[in-house]
Amino acid sequence: MSTREVILTGDTPTGQLHLGHYVGSVQRRVELQDTHDCYLLLANMHAYTTRSDHPDEIHSDTLEIARDYLAMGIDPSKSAILLQSETPAIAELTFLFAMLLPFNRVMRNPTLKEEIKVKGLGDNYSFGFPLYAVGQTADILAFRAHAVPVGEDQIPHIELTREVARRFNKLYCGIDDNVEDDDPAMEELGVFPIPRADVGKVGKLIGTDGVNKMSKSLNNAILITDTPKQVKKKLGQLYTGRQSMTDPGDPDSSLMQYVDTFITDSDRASELKDKYVRGDNIGDGHIKVEVAQAISELLAPMQERRSQYDGDDSTIIDIIRDGTARANIRTEETLAMAKEASGLGFFERKLSF
C-alpha cells in the first residue's frame, strides 16, 4: 500500500473555472500530484443545493470543470478526477457525521452564512443547503485525506471537518479526550487523520472590478478560455482609484496583487511596483497591458490543452469513470473501517463498479 500522504479537494460545478481557482488552489494541486495520492472531486451534488431546477446545466458544468482541470495541467493518470454522485460512501458518511454535529454548530459556519447573504437566500433555502457543509466533511474524510488544497473561503469547512474527525476518533476509536490533533496516536488508533487546509499562493484573488473576490457570478472573472483581447479588456476595467501617472499608488491595491501574482520575472515586478508606489511617471494603463500579456502567456498552453477535449464528452467521461473507480476503492475501505468502529459493522458488503 502507498505510504504517501493523501490529498483531497474539489469544486462545485458553477460554470467554468477562472484564474482565481488556478492561483488559489489548482496550481498547488498540479505541484502536489507528483508526490501525493491526489483525488479531485467534482462536487456535482452540491450544485443541487441551490440549482436543483437546472439539472442539465449542472451536468454540463460538471464536465466543464473536468476539462478545466486537464487544461490547467492535472494529469488524470496521477490525480483521480471523481464524481461525487457516484461515490456512495460519501453519502453514507454524511448521514453518520450529521449525528456528530450539533445543528447550531453547522449553522454557525461563516462560509454558509456568507453564501446565504451573497446569494440572497434569506431563509428560503433547502434543507440540503446547510447539509452540504456536513457533506463536505464526508468528501474529505471518506478519503482519509491529510491535506486539502483550497482557497481561503473554504477554511471554515476544513475546521468543521477537523472537528468531525476528532469527535469520531474520540467517540468510537478509544482515543483519549486530551490527545492532540498531531499526536501520532490520532492516526494510528483513529479512523481519520485530522486534515489540514493548504491554501494556495493567493488565498483570495480580487476580481476585475477591483473590489470583490473573483467569481463568475459577480461577472468579474478572467476565464481560462478568455482570448488575449478579452483579458486586456477585462483588466482595463480594473478600478484602482488612482488619478494620474504621478499619483503615489497603493502597494496593496488590486493592481499590485495582479503584478505580484502574474508578472513572473520578479525583478520586473519589483520595478513596476516601485515606480507605481512612488508615482514615478507610470500609468495604470501601462501596467495593466503588461499584466494582461503575462496572463495571456499563462493561459495559452492551458487553452491549447483544453482544445484537445473540445466537444469530446466521451473522453472526459472515460477519465472520470476511471477516477471514480479508483476513488471508490479508497472510500469503501474507509466506510468499512468507520462502520466497524461505530457499531454498524455487521457483515462485509462488496459493491462492484
Distance between CA 122 and CA 45 in Å, rounded?
22
Q: Which of 6, 7, 11, 192 binds ligand TRP (CB under 6 A)?
A: 11
Those residues with Cβ within 8 angstroms of residue 238's Cβ, 6 or more apart along the chain or in another chain: 208, 209, 210, 254, 255, 258, 284, 288
Closer Cβ to ligand TRP, 136 or 254, answer by number: 136
Q: Considering the complex, state which of residue 140 and residue 164 has its C-beta at the smaller distance from ligand TRP.
A: 140
Residue closer to ligand TRP (CB basis): 136 or 220: 136
Nearer to ligand TRP, 50 or 261 (CB): 50
Beta sheet of 6-11, edge-to-edge order = 79-83, 37-42, 6-11, 147-150, 196-199
Residue nearest to ligand TRP (CB): 43
Q: With binding defined as CB under 6 A, does residue 87 bind ligand TRP?
A: no
**Residue 331 lies near ligand TRP (rule: CB under 6 A):** no
Distance set, CA 121 to CA 111, 116, 125, 142, 160 (Å): 14, 5, 6, 29, 22
3-state DSSP percent of the chain in helix, strand and coil, to 5: 55, 10, 35
Q: Alpha-carbon distance 331 to 213, whole Å?
A: 33
221 lines the binding site for ligand TRP (CB under 6 A):
no
Considering the complex, state which of residue 41 and residue 175 has its C-beta at the smaller distance from ligand TRP: 41
- 131-170: contacts with ligand TRP (CB under 6 A): 136, 139-140, 148, 150, 154
Residue 105 to residue 40: CA distance in whole angstroms: 27
- Residues 243, 233 contacting (CB under 8 angstroms): no
Quote the least distance from Cβ 333 to ligand TRP, whole Å.
19
The contact mask relative to ligand TRP for 37-76 (x = CB under 6 A, - = no) is ----x-x--x------------------------------
3-state class (DSSP) for residue 149: strand
Measured CA to CA, the distance from residue 353 to residue 337 in angstroms comes to 20
Contact range with ligand TRP by CB under 6 A, out of 9-17, 28-36, 49-57, 203-211: 9-17
Cα(169)–Cα(184) distance, rounded to whole angstroms?
A: 13
Contact 135, 90 (CB under 8 A): yes
- Comparing CB distances to ligand TRP, the nearer of 140 and 235 is 140
Number of amino acids touching ligand TRP (CB under 6 A): 14
Give the nearest distance from C-beta 236 to ligand TRP in angstroms. 28
| Binding footprint of ligand TRP on the chain (CB under 6 A) | 8-12, 41, 43, 46, 136, 139-140, 148, 150, 154
